[in-house]
Amino acid sequence: RKVVQALEQTAREILTLLQGVHQGPGFQHIPKKCQKAREHFSTVRTQMESLKTKFPADQYYRFHEHWRFVLQRLVFLAAFVVYLESETLVTREAVAEILGIEADRERGFHLDIEDYLSGVLTLASELARLAVNSVTAGDYSRPLRISAFINELDSGFRLLNLKNDSLRKRYDGLKYDVKKIEEVVYDLSIRGLNKEAAVGAGGEK
C-alpha cells in the first residue's frame, strides 16, 4: 500500500505538470513539460521496481486491485506525453517500457491489456478538452488533428469485443468525446477558421 501511495503521488505530480498545456501560454511550453514529465517517469520506474518485490511473482492478479487504478492513470499520462510529443498513439509495449514493467504476462509484473485500454480511453477525454482549449488559445489546426486521431481511435475500439463492464462503460464515454470534438471542428468550419488552419499547417510543412 505504501508503494502504491508513493506511485499515486508521482502520478499526481505528472498530471499537475501536464495540466499546464491547457492554459494559453502552455502550448509554447509543451516540449519542456514533456521532458519534465519523462524525468518523473524515472521515479515511477524506481517505485515499480520496489512494488515488484512486495508480493510473490505468481500472485499478480491476487493483488492487482491495489495498483490497478494508479497503473491506468500512469498509462494515460504516458500516452498523453507521447501524443504531445509526436501526435501518435503509444503502444502497450512502449508504455510498459516507460513504466519499467513487462508487456508480456509470462515475464512477470506486466501491463494488463485492459489497464492499457482504460488509460487510452482517458487520453481521449483529455484530448477532447485540449481541442476546446486549443481554440481558446488561437490554435485552430490542433483540433482538426485531434479529431482525425480520435476518429481513428474510435474505429479501433469498434473492432474490439469488450466484455469487461468497467471498460465497456469507459468506451461508451468515447462517443461523447468524439461528439465534443466534432462540435469544435464544426464550429471552426462555420467560422471559416478550419481553412485558415489548413493553410497554416501547409505553410508549416
Question: What is the distance between the alpha carbons of residues 63 and 57, in angstroms, rounded to a whole number?
Answer: 10
What's the 3-state SS for 144-167?
Answer: HHHHHHHHHHHHHHHCCCCCCHHH
Residue 162 has a pLDDT of 82
Please answer whether residues 174 and 127 qualify as being in contact, where contact means their C-beta atoms are separated by less than 8 angstroms. no
Bind-site residues for Mg(2+): 126
CA nearest to 120, candidates 178, 77, 179: 77
For the chain, which residues make up each domain, given as ranges?
Answer: 1-191
E strands, the chain, in order: none
* CA–CA gap between residue 132 and residue 103 (Å, rounded): 34
What are 7-39's pLDDT values in tens digits? 999 999 999 999 999 987 777 889 999 999 999
Output the pLDDT for position 203.
Answer: 46
Whole-angstrom Cα Rg for the chain:
18
Classify residue 44 as exposed, middle or buried by CB count within 10 Å of its CB (0-12, 13-18, 19+). Answer: buried
* pLDDT for res 88: 97
Name the strand (E) or helix (H) holding 89: none
Architecture label for domain 1-191: Up-down Bundle (1.20)
Q: Report d(CA 117, CA 134) in Å as an integer.
A: 25
Range of weakest confidence among 20-29, 127-136, 183-192 = 20-29
Specify burial of residue 72 (Cβ count, 10 A radius: 0-12, 13-18, 19+): buried
Give the model's pLDDT for residue 205. 37
Average pLDDT over residues 141-149: 95
